[in-house]
Structure 1
Amino acid sequence: MIKKVVIMKYNVFTYLVGEGFSNVFKNKKQAFTSFGTMCLIMIFFGICFIIVGNFNSFIKQVEAQQGIQAFIKKDATEEEIEQVKNDINEIEEINTIEFVSQEQALQSVKERVFKERADLLEGYNVSIFKTSYKITLTDITKTAEVKEKLLNIENIVKVTNTDEVIEVLIKVARGIKIGSYVIIIALIAISIFIISNTIKLTVYARRKEISIMKYVGATNSFIRWPFIVEGIILGLSSGIISLAIVSGLYMLLANNVPFVNFLANLNLKLLAFNEMFNFIVIIYLVLGMGIGVIGSTKSMKKYLKV
C-alpha cells in the first residue's frame, strides 16, 4: 500500500515538473525573451553586489591602513612615553598602536616624500621630528571622537589625520550602498513583473485545458504547480547563466594589469572571487527561485480563479 502511494506521488511529481518544462517550450518566443531580459537583470544585480562587496572591503582596508598620528612633546621621558601608550590603549575604538621614533620619522620622510632625492635630508638632525604613536581605528567614522580623546591625554601635543579623505570615503560608501539597494529592489520588482507576464500568457493559452481540469476535480495545487515550475525554471536558468557571465567579467577585471596597478598604488586590492562565490551562488539560487515562485503565484492569483 505504502509502495503504491509513493509510486503515485512520484508519478504526480514527474508529471507536474514535466508540465512545467513543457510550458516553457510551448511558449518559446516569450520564454526566450523573458530569459534574456532576466539574464540582463541578474547580471546587473551581480555587478551591484560585487561593487558593494568590494567597496566594503576597500573601507575595511582603509580602516586598517588609515592612521592617526599622535605626537608627543619633545622632552617627554621614556616613562611618560610608555604612559601615553597605556592611556591610548584604554580608548575603546583603538585597533592598533605603533611607536614611531625620531629616526623612523626621518626615514619615512625620505622614502615617502623625497624618494630618489633622499640625499637632500643628509645632515639634518632627527631632533627636528617628534616621537609619535601611529594609531588605527576599528571604525573610521569615530575618528573625530578619538582625536578629541587623544588630545586630552597628558604629553600629547598634536594629533593629525586626513579627515577629508575619511569623510569622502564614508559618504561615497553610503551613496553606493543606498544606490545599489534601490537598483536591486527595482530589478527584483521588474523581474517579478516579467515572470508574471510570461506565466500569464501561458495561463491564457491553456485556459480551456485548465477549465476542463477543474471540471473533472483537479485540485488547486495540481493546477498551480506546473506554472510555478515554469517560473522556477526561468528564474534558475537565468541565474546560472548570469553567474557564469559575471564570474567571467570579474576574472577579466581582476586580471587587468593597469587596473590592478591603479588599486595597488592606493594600497587597495579587489576581493578574490572565491571569497564571494559561495555567497553569490546562494543569492542567485534563492533569488532565481524566489522570483520564479513569486512571479508565477502573482500571475495565477490575478488570472486564475483557483
Structure 2
Amino acid sequence: MKARTLRRHFRESAKSLSRNGWMTFASVSAVTVTLILVGVFFVIMMNLNRVATTIEEDVEIRVHIDLTANQQQRDLLRKEIENIPEVKGVQFSSKKQELQHLIDSMGEEGKAYKLFEQDNPLNDVFIVKTKNPTDTIKVAKQIEKFQYADKVKYGQGKVENIFKSIKVSRNVGLVLIIGLLFTAMFLISNTIKITIIARKNEIEIMRLVGATNAFIRWPFFLEGLWLGLLGSIIPIALVSTAYYYAYGYLQPRLEGNFIQILDYSPFVYQVAFLLVVMGALIGIWGSLMSVRKFLKV
C-alpha cells in the first residue's frame, strides 16, 4: 500500500470519528465499561492466583525416618526419594532441628519442651518438595512404601481440598474472563454496526466507483483501532489508581504473612499493556465483523 493511500485512510478514519460524534461516544463507552470490568476482574484473579501459587509452593512432604535407621540406611532412603521423577528436592532436618522448630513455633508454651533436649524423642526428617505441587499426594503414597520411612505427613485431607478449591477458582476465573471478552465483542460489534449501517450508502457508492474491499475496509479497520485505544484510557487510569491505593493499604498489613499480593510495578504496566491490546483488538474485530456484510458481492 502506498504511503499516500495509507495517509488517506488515517485521515478518513479520524474524520469519521468526529462526524459521528454520538456513535463514537457510544462505542468508546462500550469499550470503556467492558475493559473496566475485565481489568478489575483480571487484577483480582491474578492476585488470587498469586495466593494460590504461594499456598501450593508451601505444600511439602515430611518423611519421618525410622528411629532405628543408621546413617547408611538414611542415605539409602534419601536416594530412593530423590529417584522419584516428580521430586524436586530433598532437605534433611535432624531431630535436634525439629525439636528447636517445635519450641519456636509454640512460643512461651514451647519452653516446656526444652526438657527433651537431652532425650529427644523426635525423628530425623526428610522434607520433600515436588516439581508440581499436585503430585504431592502421589509422591507421598510412594514414599510410604519405602522401608525406612516411619511416617509420611503432607496434610492429608486438607491438601486435597486446597488443590480442588484452587483448580475450581482458576477454572471459574478463566471462564468468566472469556465470557466478559465475548460479551464485550458482541456489544461493541453491535454498537459499531449501527454506525456502519448509517453509512451504508457511502460504502455502496465507493463500491460503485470501483473501490476494492480492502480499500473500503481500511478506514473502518483504523476507526475500530482508535475506538479501542480511546476506550482503554479510562480503564487503565482507574485500575492503576485503584490498585495503587489497594497495594499501599494491604502490603504493610500483609508484611511477614505467607499471603502476598503482586507488586505494583511491573504488574500495573502489564495490566495496562493488556488492556490496550484488548481494546485495540476488540475495536478492530467489531469494525471488521460489522462492515463485512456490506462487502459481500
Q: Is the 8 A contact 2:81 2:87 kept in 1?
A: yes
1:151-190 matches, cutoff 5 A: 151-190=144-183
1:73-92 matches, cutoff 5 A: 73-92=66-85
Residue 99 of structure 1 corresponds to 92
- Indicate yes or no: 2:19 matched with 1:26: yes
Q: Which whole-Å deviations, capped at 9, do the CAs of 1:107-136 have from their partners, x for residues lacking one?
A: 111111x21333222322442211111112
1:162 match: secondary structure = coil
Q: CA deviation at 1:175?
A: 1.9
Residue 233 of structure 1 corresponds to 226
Given the alignment, which residue of 96, 103, 107 partners 1:115?
A: 107
Cα gap change, 1:172 to 1:239, in 2 (>3 Å): farther
CA distance in 1, matches of 2:110, 2:294: 78
- Indicate yes or no: 2:261 matched with 1:270: yes
- The residue type paired with residue 122 of structure 2 is F
1:91 match: secondary structure = coil
Cα gap change, 1:289 to 1:167, in 2 (>3 Å): same
Q: Is the 8 A contact 2:64 2:126 kept in 1?
A: yes
- The residue type paired with residue 207 of structure 2 is K
Aligned residues with identical type, % of pairs: 28
CA distance in 2, matches of 1:62, 1:263: 16
Q: Is the 8 A contact 1:58 1:268 kept in 2?
A: yes
Q: What TM-score, normalized to structure 1?
A: 0.85
1:25 match: secondary structure = helix
Cα gap change, 1:305 to 1:155, in 2 (>3 Å): closer
CA distance in 1, matches of 2:91, 2:189: 59
1:216-227 matches, cutoff 5 A: 216-227=209-220
Q: CA deviation at 1:305?
A: 4.5
Given the alignment, which residue of 189, 192, 197 partners 1:196?
A: 189
CA distance in 1, matches of 2:279, 2:31: 9
Q: Is the 8 A contact 1:199 1:227 kept in 2?
A: no
Cα gap change, 1:166 to 1:26, in 2 (>3 Å): farther
1:137-148 matches, cutoff 5 A: 137-148=130-141
Q: Which whole-Å deviations, capped at 9, do the CAs of 1:30-74 have from their partners, x for residues lacking one?
A: 322332232222122233333443344334333432221111111
CA distance in 2, matches of 1:58, 1:117: 31
CA distance in 2, matches of 1:155, 1:46: 52
Q: CA deviation at 1:233?
A: 0.9
Q: CA deviation at 1:153?
A: 1.4
1:181 match: secondary structure = helix
Q: CA deviation at 1:146?
A: 0.8
1:127 match: secondary structure = coil
Q: CA deviation at 1:279?
A: 4.9
Alignment size in residue pairs = 296
Residue 66 of structure 1 corresponds to 59
Q: CA deviation at 1:157?
A: 0.9
Q: CA deviation at 1:184?
A: 2.1
Given the alignment, which residue of 289, 292, 295 partners 2:286?
A: 295
Q: CA deviation at 1:106?
A: 1.2
Q: Greater CA deviation, 114-123 or 148-157? A: 114-123
Q: Is the 8 A contact 2:213 2:295 kept in 1?
A: no
Residue 3 of structure 1 corresponds to none
Q: Is the 8 A contact 1:105 1:129 kept in 2?
A: yes
Q: Greater CA deviation, 151-160 or 19-28? A: 19-28
Q: Is the 8 A contact 1:71 1:132 kept in 2?
A: yes
Q: CA deviation at 1:303?
A: 4.7
CA distance in 2, matches of 1:102, 1:196: 66
Cα gap change, 1:241 to 1:296, in 2 (>3 Å): same
Runs of 5+ unmatched residues, structure 2: none
Runs of 5+ unmatched residues, structure 1: 1-5
Cα gap change, 1:59 to 1:186, in 2 (>3 Å): closer
CA distance in 2, matches of 1:263, 1:154: 42
- The residue type paired with residue 166 of structure 1 is V
Where in structure 1 do 4 or more consecutive aligned residues deviate above 6 Å?
Answer: none
